[in-house]
Amino acid sequence: MIERVDGGYAATYLIHGKNGWVVVDPGTRLAADLTATRIGKAPVSLIFATHFHIDHIGGIERLLAYYPDAVVMFSAGAMPYASKRKRIPVPRFRRWIVGLIPIIPRLSHPLRNLYQGVISAKTGMPFFVFRKASKVGYPFQCRLQEGQDIHGLEGWRIIETPGHTPDSICIYHQDSRSLISGDTILNISGCGELNRFCCSWTDIEKSFRKLSALPVENLYPGHGASLCGIQDVLARVQIRP
């Protein structure tokens, strides 16, 4: 049901919908190229991101070169950043120390990912000096909201999960008990962990409590290996402020 492409900092997920493929989080040019190789000439109906960060949206422009008829969507909460009405929020200094720096050495292919970050579209950069670099060079919509079914993707629904960023979302499929968690839940440790690199720890804890009420057996994180076929997999997720 879900295919995974590893071509950048974040994982890209492919879901086959009734109107064509849906691509989630194409974060680099390489991710876009590998996605096009995997899908071939089959149609892509929708491209969307779990939040407005470069490692999740940096390959969208490249992917549209392959599939120009695809619709691009962000969450409703991303509108201020995608339209440049507001700067992208960044975590406080402590969150960089406890949340980001420790996991960088544990991410796969760091040099390749750095190169891909350089050559991919400079949009959605959560760094103090680059936060204005959020120009989107393609048509998009910011319409994905809590509880909403995803057009062309039957059985999947949007769950708003602010914390890592205010606009973060996850998507959930009840029948297969599958959750694509974006950067709300990662899996760098091997059993899953709540993302400590966040704009609001209070918000991300609330979001996790919301997710924990769902029966989940297949977890597809934005970073780290997928965890599949594990009953109540979210009960294993580490929570460390």
Average the pLDDT over 42-56 and give the result. 96
Average pLDDT, the chain: 92
User: Which one is predicted more confidently, 120 or 215?
Assistant: 215
What pLDDT shows up at residue 129?
A: 57
Average the pLDDT over 198-210 and give the result. 98
C-alpha to C-alpha distance for 7 and 34, rounded to whole angstroms: 7
Average the pLDDT over 181-206 and give the result. 97
Weakest-pLDDT range from 29-38, 86-95, 196-205, 211-220: 86-95
> Which token pair is 77?
């909460």
Q: Could you list the beta-strand ranges (E) of 7-111.
A: 11-17, 20-24, 44-48, 71-75
pLDDT digits (tens, 9 = 90+) for 72-115: 999 999 999 988 888 889 999 999 999 988 888 888 787 787 77
For the domain spanning 2-236, the CATH number is: 3.60.15.10
Check residue 61 and give left, alpha or beta (phi > 0: left; psi -120 to 50: alpha).
alpha
pLDDT digits (tens, 9 = 90+) for 14-47: 999 999 999 999 999 999 999 999 999 999 999 9
| DSSP 3-state of 162 | coil
pTM for this model (two decimals): 0.94
Check residue 96 and give left, alpha or beta (phi > 0: left; psi -120 to 50: alpha).
alpha
C-alpha to C-alpha distance for 141 and 25, rounded to whole angstroms: 15
